[in-house]
Structure 1
């Protein structure tokens, strides 16, 4: 833990702290939702620790409650987390030469806000010690906030009044992370098409409308990116 690592950690924490606060309401709602689905406190805390992916957790809970087949639950979680394949591939150069354990830990700790805020600076730096501090410190902050919020939601599931509409807090938290990601036209197109598709196809059996909406969003984003590239080349 040299000075370069400490400096990177301080800068990463300063950058991430405002956004990390938004994880608390989302984690609390996820904790409440897991208990409402019928999971025990131990099962809920275990899911929060092992899965560590709010979108996948919330997306698969209705399937678990409905007794959907295991393969569908697995595929749904996989599709909901496909974006992390792209995020990981984009960040891979920053971890060139890092140990296997560091890369494994980095993959587990990766969250949307971390990628949005830290990716550019990580890829621009040539100092591996600074990069590791800049990544792992805010990543651990987010992980801690998520586990803390999940614990509050799991243990307080029977205490929070239903008229508090906690699910609205989740929507706000997601929007805070979504806005910085849709600055590019392709990302905006993907978000609009994916969201609209999921709403229009919500009547599909086994809640396959979400998966279909994600597939449409990815396809639309890819087409929009290719179209933008052709326009840039034409100019």
Structure 2
């Protein structure tokens, strides 16, 4: 279709992908963890794949998994997912003025594919909706490039997690998925040198002090990492002050 070629070839499409690239590893880690969690909870591969492709909402998927395992009624599972995703109603209200000029089916596609980070990056890039055709095309192209990489990162990693879930020993259970969840948080937050240093330093201290009782190695790792980063941050040169005219 002509409009798809116009969106894909627009420079803003690539700008949207570049804006999403730094957070894509964190999204992939979350997707991998969710894929493993679905399989280890007892869902079949077909059910897990269908949930990944058609639900496409990590937080509501994770909220629904324990309810499915517990055999909760359908309406309880549905209402849980609905409540978790209520924030998208707010997103939709804000994006209405950006997308209202589009046909309904294109608004539905944009709404389905727009995730939390897509919304945040898009509204930061375009605080106000465009009023001309070229501006509207640029905004839709940026949003499409943004959620294309988000969708790709999430679904590829989630499908990989579903495939790997059958190879992970059952004894690891959902605890292994919890470890992957923490790795997802780590990948999302370790986006500066200081934060990366804190992650590496805390990991090393936690391993070295593993013999401490009551899991105090975790406390020691946090204390050492925080103190080291505070010390390094204090040694940074102060930014130059602007001279008064």
Structure-1-length-normalised TM-score? 0.69
Size of the aligned set, in residue pairs, is 179
Partner residue of 2:159 out of 122, 142, 151: 151
Per mean C-alpha deviation after superposition, the further-off stretch among 40-49 and 121-130 is 121-130
Supply the RMSD in Å over aligned alpha carbons.
2.5
Deviations 1:38-71 (A, max 9, x none): 1111110001011000000010110001001111
Q: Structure 1, residues 104-163: CA drift from partner, whole Å, max 9, x if none?
A: 001110111111111132343521110111001121111111110111111101334639
Matches within 5 A, 1:106-145: 106-124=110-128, 126=130, 127-145=135-153
Structure 1 residues not aligned, in runs of 5+? 179-235
Match for residue 102 of structure 1 among 92, 99, 106 = 106
Mark the structure with the bigger radius of gyration.
Answer: 2
The equivalent of 2:26 in structure 1 is 22
The change in CA–CA distance for 1:73 and 1:124 in structure 2 (over 3 A counts) is same
Deviates more, 1:120-129 or 1:107-116: 120-129
Q: Which has the higher contact order (CA 8 A, sep 6+)?
A: 2
Q: Structure 2, unaligned stretches of length 5 or more?
A: 190-245
For residues 126-205 of structure 1, what are the structure 2 equivalents within 5 Å?
Answer: 126=130, 127-160=135-168, 162=172, 165-171=176-182, 173=184
Work out the CA distance in 2 between the residues paired with 1:49 and 1:31.
Answer: 11
1:177 CA displacement = 6.7
Residue of structure 2 equivalent to 1:215? none
Please say which of residues 71-80 and 122-131 is displaced more in the overlay.
Answer: 122-131
Deviation at 1:31, TM superposition (A): 0.7
2:12 partner SS: helix
